[in-house]
Structure 1
Amino acid sequence: MRKSAAILFAFIISQFQAQQGAYYQQAAKYKMDIDVNAEKFTYQGNQTLEYANNSPDVLNVVYFHLYWNAFKPNSMMDQRVAGQGKNGDSRLQKDGVSRLASIPKDQEGAQNIHWIKQNGKDLKFEIQETIMKVYLAEPIQPNSTTTFTMDWDAVIPQQIRRSGRNNKEGVDMTMTQWYPKIAEYDYDGWATFDYIGREFHAPFSDFDVTIKINKDYVIGAGGILENPAEVKGYDSTANIKTDKSKKATWKWSAKNILDFAWSADRDYVVKSFDVPEGPKVFLVYQNNDKTKVWEEAQPYVTKYFQIMNSHFGKYVYPTYAFIQGGDGGMEYGMCTMILGEAKDIKGLMGLMAHEGAHSWYQQMLATNESVRPWMDEGFTSYAEGYLMYQLFPEELPNPFANTVNAYRNFVKKGIEEPAVWLGDHHDNGTSYTYASYVKGELYLVQLGYIMGEQNLAETLKQYYDQWHMKHPSDRDFLHIAQKVSGMDLKWFQNYWINTTKTIDYGIKDVKYEAKSTTITLVNKGQVPMPIDFNVMTADKKIVTYQIPLNMTHTWKEKDIYGDFKTMPYWPWTQKEYTLTIPYTKAQLSVLGIDFSQRMADVNIEDNVVEVK
């Protein structure tokens, strides 16, 4: 190579590496002192935040989230709910009218920032509803740390969604996304989405939180209670220490989580148990007739964590708390807030299984759920489906058959929206649910069908090993899936996530001959797929023929759903495919596409032929 060419080549490589950049992630340490006025549902807050800029960029501004500012009439959340009408989130409205519009003035959410300083210097800031933009006194240089101090007061809002006072189950205070929280900064810039009601994102942070509250309250939180002997509910021999105002002081700590959440009520009971090899689990709830099923949870929760640890990667934190927060279910660092009332243990565990799995696919594998809710909600739903099938076995062809069927029925409504859309920007609440939860779950189910379930399990394991306690993206996951399987899978992700195109294969024709049978298959959909074509013989034996899709370039080698014979590939541009099998009509009972029922074919009426 000539010297000039070598120099040019080196320059190109250096530019490429500069564009790619080494992976980094920001970090924060919070120290908070909180004084709660339980009678007025307000609190005073003081915060010291040590922020590490591990990026290669100089930061001249920082952003904080002030989520509670959304809970008031004419907020952006109120406007969004009103604009969507009955197509929006039913929990935020009543008879198609936004519930936020009628919040009384004294129950509006508020986070009133008194001042903020950087290394002792006063800073200018502006409030843009749920976002606070802060102009720095001195830029934060790459690989350096700065300290913010802040003083504020807050009004705990009327409970509309997730956070708030006196919710429908009678929990006094659900304190989630309750403090000024610094936004995440990464290669894509600041994650400063307005809070409209859906998902969250944040840097991994350490927390040291002191809460003063009336001594008759019990607190449930995500973290470690440092003084259980001095407060109510955690130690039967507790000597509750109070200050002159008769308030008890609660001291909590947590390391390397995305947020710190807590809830407080005078009627809480606290029960705990240890899962072998961790974590220690806390159940915090109001002990009454509506929550009796919580008494049955311990063996199921124990088995749940054991299966999650073995199949999806080990839970890294020392504790986890299931807390009756009184509104649906929402995941936070080392805890979740869920409804207390449940008809039976299966219903309670379904909620616990989903929210608990967010500790993997939202906390430890901390994707930006505002941008890619399908990776957060979808992967979590997959883990929930897998676990519930283990805990409560059913007579189903696969653990996800009900989800596939629900998707199939939903598509017929004609209101599907692409999963690639941002979480808060879906026009229809039901469409958001299917785009994020259902199609995200089926993304993994389809991959298991395409590459084989063993390869999918290995992909999930390597994804955890390489990316837990980091902020992965879909590109990172796809890279591992392609490496494990040896397949090109970009085509599938593009179709499934970026479009609403559907899978629709069918059996067009069957010709029975003297020594064989010839089947013609047809692709009537817009999403190409490999096909597992199954034969049930007259003596009830299942024979499978794998028809690869040319775009994967490498074929599936094994699958837990049985052995198969690999046929010539089916080019994605070709509408029909013919295969001949060495069975006569008399030797056959049933012919069909995908007996395992994993493939999300939207019309299965022409997928099976009974041989008569």
Structure 2
Amino acid sequence: MRKSVAILFAFIISQFQAQQAPYYQQAAKYKMDIDVNAEKFTYQGNQTLEYTNNSPDELNVVYFHLYWNAFKPNSMMDQRVAGQGKNGDSKLQKDGISRLASISKDQQGAQNIHWIRQNGKELKFEVQETMMKVYLNESIKPNSTTTFTMEWDAVIPQQIRRSGRNNREGVDMTMTQWYPKIAEYDYDGWAAFDYVGREFHAPFSDFDVTIKISKDYVVGAGGILENPGEVKGYNTSAKIKTGKDQKAEWKWKAKNILDFVWSADRDYIVKNFDVPDGPKVYLVYQNNDKTKVWEEAQPYITKYFQIMNSHFGKYAYPSYAFIQGGDGGMEYGMCTMILGEAQNIEGLMGLMAHEGAHSWYQQMLATNESMYPWMDEGFTSYAETYVMHQLFPPKEELPNPFVNSLNAYRNFIKKGIEEPAVWLGDHHDNGTAYTYSTYVKGELYLVQLGYIMGEQKLAETLKRYYQDWSMKHPSGRDFLHIAQNVSGMDLKWFHHYWINTTKTIDYGIKDIKYDTKSTTITLVNNGQVPMPVDFSVITTDKKVVTYQIPTNLTRTWKEKDIFGDLKTVAYWPWTQKEYTLTVPYTKSQLAVLGIDLSQRIADVKMEDNFVEVK
């Protein structure tokens, strides 16, 4: 009996110690030599990878992503798209039929691994479609480094989703997720997610990449070009250096980013400018009538980075490139691929603002997108809305910048197809539901926190999040810890309802009774998500008085908000259906009574939130 107790006690202690293990993250250094056959849309690749295991675990296998293997008929991506039909990703299907099923044989994506070695010794490996499992001859012990060498060839796929040849605007090559990329390993194990169309994850890595390609091409990339005087497009006095094969060598380096991507086209032009106290910005695009809006972008991009640096944390890298390519907009280390054709500057900047903000929430704060897509896409959408509201102020004054997102959410809820944000990114069944649970609910997660804790506390939380977790891999728990620390509130309940469920907020004014010296209002909670309630009265002399009705769940109440100081009254227990509030104003003194005049609360039924006193 004593022995059993001792074993149980030891187990409990070991579990506690495991939970308290110090933070770590893996590191990688890539050196690649790439030889491109531009006519055939193929290339040969050689790669040396120094991989450092900073975890406390001994690794006996490693995993590499081979994303391009998805771009062929009957791949897992094809099967997933076919299974979802019209409910899936619109870019991957047409009229409910998978576009992957009809890729011709010569345009099917392929990453063919010739061999892989560890410290010079050949390794056994197993390709599982878009994942490669590598069996090690010698384990990688904690706090040690090993070297992998690899040779492969690849076929650049038909451009359907993010990567590939000849996109719809005529860009020859969009080279994203194009090399065998080692998977991330952390406390949750290997992030060996099959690629079926959505999110990516990787360890922070350094890159040294040499690309040999026909001298007629201009290359755009996320990194620093080491030899601008020897290639086309970056230096007006460049003397293009080629070998006997008439190929130029492009030498790129980048440090501490998640992935290295590039794009190539004969018709690219390159422009650059410096953002004060910010990065050097490169614009790489085809110069034609459909892209002339790019010429207007510099002052907007400059202001964009200045706002982002001020409110969300300073951009950490020396440069950033907006590159025309891909199938819409997709973020990568130190750059983004975006469609270049735009009708006006606001439309172009909307795309640039979203993809650029990913530098904060996909790159510098490198959340595992496959597990927490709402933290990347949602927080990025919040930053996009915040900045665009300042770059292009609306013609009509809005209660807050996020009104359109809130209204879109309310309209979507009526469809009855919502899926919880907690689901893994690639495992959502409905493409529209994925968009709303990830982009919209992720954005409104921050909007609701601003309402609960106050906008000043939210701004402080976002800054602290950046300061504590930039260049790391935070989770939702890490963000929540900071939000609770800054606000002094318990916010676990809100996180649970908003992320783990599809329950909704619905408060209303049920009854009003006017007296000779006061007015008594009865409020009702018709929803399933408890929230604090800011109840305001607007008097006939246009005075606004806001009463804060806290929920007891937060344990601490907010001190001030966008309307300044608040009159805090007794809390509303979350188990209680109705709440009565008496204000010292008569009917003749009142003009409007309302729940949340700022209109930030994601109440799904706004009709009963306001009463005009007549």
TM-score by length of 1: 0.98
Say yes or no: does 1:19 pair with 2:19: yes
More moved, 325-334 vs 199-208: 325-334
Rounded Cα–Cα distance in structure 2 between residues aligned with 1:215 and 1:309: 37
What secondary structure is seen at the aligned counterpart in 1 of 2:439? helix
State the 1:14 CA deviation: 6.5
Number of the residue aligned with 1:428: 430
State the 1:326 CA deviation: 4.0
State the 1:263 CA deviation: 0.3
What secondary structure is seen at the aligned counterpart in 2 of 1:30? strand
Once the two structures are superposed, residues 165-221 of structure 1 have per-residue CA deviations (whole angstroms, 9 ceiling, x without a partner) of: 001000000000000000000000000010000000000000000000000100000
Number of the residue aligned with 1:28: 28
Rounded Cα–Cα distance in structure 1 between residues aligned with 2:207 and 2:595: 53
State the 1:10 CA deviation: 10
Number of the residue aligned with 2:535: 533
- Distance verdict in 2 for CA 1:11–1:438, change over 3 Å: closer
CA contact (8 A) 1:416 1:435 kept: yes
State the 1:48 CA deviation: 0.1
Once the two structures are superposed, residues 340-359 of structure 1 have per-residue CA deviations (whole angstroms, 9 ceiling, x without a partner) of: 01111111111000000000
Over the aligned positions, Cα root-mean-square deviation in angstroms equals: 1.4
| 5+ residue gaps, structure 1 | none
Say yes or no: does 1:364 pair with 2:364: yes
Number of the residue aligned with 2:563: 561
Rounded Cα–Cα distance in structure 2 between residues aligned with 1:580 and 1:524: 21
Residues 387-466 of structure 1 aligned to structure 2 (within 5 Å): 387-394=387-394, 395-466=397-468
Runs of 4+ in 1 over 6 A off after TM superposition: 8-12
State the 1:20 CA deviation: 2.5
Residues 565-604 of structure 1 aligned to structure 2 (within 5 Å): 565-604=567-606
Number of the residue aligned with 1:221: 221
Once the two structures are superposed, residues 244-303 of structure 1 have per-residue CA deviations (whole angstroms, 9 ceiling, x without a partner) of: 000000000000000000000000000000001120000000011111110000000000
| 5+ residue gaps, structure 2 | none
Rounded Cα–Cα distance in structure 2 between residues aligned with 1:465 and 1:555: 25
Number of the residue aligned with 2:298: 298
CA contact (8 A) 1:372 1:420 kept: yes
Please point out which of 459, 466, 483 is paired with 2:485.
483
Rounded Cα–Cα distance in structure 2 between residues aligned with 1:519 and 1:599: 19
Number of the residue aligned with 1:116: 116
Number of the residue aligned with 1:471: 473
Number of the residue aligned with 2:239: 239
Once the two structures are superposed, residues 103-135 of structure 1 have per-residue CA deviations (whole angstroms, 9 ceiling, x without a partner) of: 000000000000000000000001000000000
Number of the residue aligned with 1:195: 195
Rounded Cα–Cα distance in structure 2 between residues aligned with 1:420 and 1:9: 33
Aligned length: 608
The code of the aligned residue for 1:500 comes to T
What secondary structure is seen at the aligned counterpart in 1 of 2:560? coil
Number of the residue aligned with 2:79: 79
Rounded Cα–Cα distance in structure 2 between residues aligned with 1:562 and 1:18: 45
Residues 268-283 of structure 1 aligned to structure 2 (within 5 Å): 268-283=268-283
Rounded Cα–Cα distance in structure 1 between residues aligned with 2:279 and 2:124: 43
State the 1:18 CA deviation: 3.3
Number of the residue aligned with 2:180: 180
Please point out which of 486, 501, 504 is paired with 1:502.
504
Rounded Cα–Cα distance in structure 1 between residues aligned with 2:573 and 2:392: 41
What secondary structure is seen at the aligned counterpart in 1 of 2:297? helix
The code of the aligned residue for 2:373 comes to P
CA contact (8 A) 2:445 2:498 kept: yes
Rounded Cα–Cα distance in structure 1 between residues aligned with 2:408 and 2:72: 35
The code of the aligned residue for 1:173 comes to M
Rounded Cα–Cα distance in structure 1 between residues aligned with 2:326 and 2:446: 31
CA contact (8 A) 1:218 1:264 kept: yes
State the 1:9 CA deviation: 9.4
Please point out which of 551, 554, 564 is paired with 1:552.
554
The code of the aligned residue for 1:170 comes to G
The code of the aligned residue for 2:517 comes to K
More moved, 14-23 vs 139-148: 14-23
Rounded Cα–Cα distance in structure 2 between residues aligned with 1:498 and 1:236: 55
CA contact (8 A) 2:82 2:96 kept: yes
Once the two structures are superposed, residues 501-545 of structure 1 have per-residue CA deviations (whole angstroms, 9 ceiling, x without a partner) of: 000000000011101100000000000000000111111111111
What secondary structure is seen at the aligned counterpart in 1 of 2:504? coil
State the 1:19 CA deviation: 3.5
CA contact (8 A) 1:170 1:326 kept: no
State the 1:440 CA deviation: 0.3
CA contact (8 A) 1:267 1:287 kept: yes
Rounded Cα–Cα distance in structure 2 between residues aligned with 1:534 and 1:172: 58
Number of the residue aligned with 2:380: 380
Once the two structures are superposed, residues 462-484 of structure 1 have per-residue CA deviations (whole angstroms, 9 ceiling, x without a partner) of: 11000000000000000000000
The code of the aligned residue for 2:604 comes to V
Rounded Cα–Cα distance in structure 1 between residues aligned with 2:9 and 2:88: 54
State the 1:363 CA deviation: 0.3
Number of the residue aligned with 1:169: 169
CA contact (8 A) 2:509 2:523 kept: yes
Residues 204-353 of structure 1 aligned to structure 2 (within 5 Å): 204-353=204-353
CA contact (8 A) 2:116 2:151 kept: yes
CA contact (8 A) 1:326 1:340 kept: no
Rounded Cα–Cα distance in structure 2 between residues aligned with 1:319 and 1:602: 42
The code of the aligned residue for 2:452 comes to I
CA contact (8 A) 2:377 2:442 kept: yes
What secondary structure is seen at the aligned counterpart in 2 of 1:304? helix
What secondary structure is seen at the aligned counterpart in 2 of 1:362? helix
State the 1:561 CA deviation: 3.1
State the 1:390 CA deviation: 1.0
CA contact (8 A) 1:169 1:326 kept: no
Say yes or no: does 1:512 pair with 2:535: no
The code of the aligned residue for 1:115 comes to W
Number of the residue aligned with 1:521: 523
Rounded Cα–Cα distance in structure 2 between residues aligned with 1:137 and 1:321: 40
The code of the aligned residue for 1:483 comes to N
CA contact (8 A) 2:312 2:462 kept: yes
Once the two structures are superposed, residues 21-54 of structure 1 have per-residue CA deviations (whole angstroms, 9 ceiling, x without a partner) of: 1110000000000000000000000000000000
Number of the residue aligned with 1:105: 105
Rounded Cα–Cα distance in structure 2 between residues aligned with 1:193 and 1:123: 22
Rounded Cα–Cα distance in structure 1 between residues aligned with 2:291 and 2:251: 28
The code of the aligned residue for 1:370 comes to S
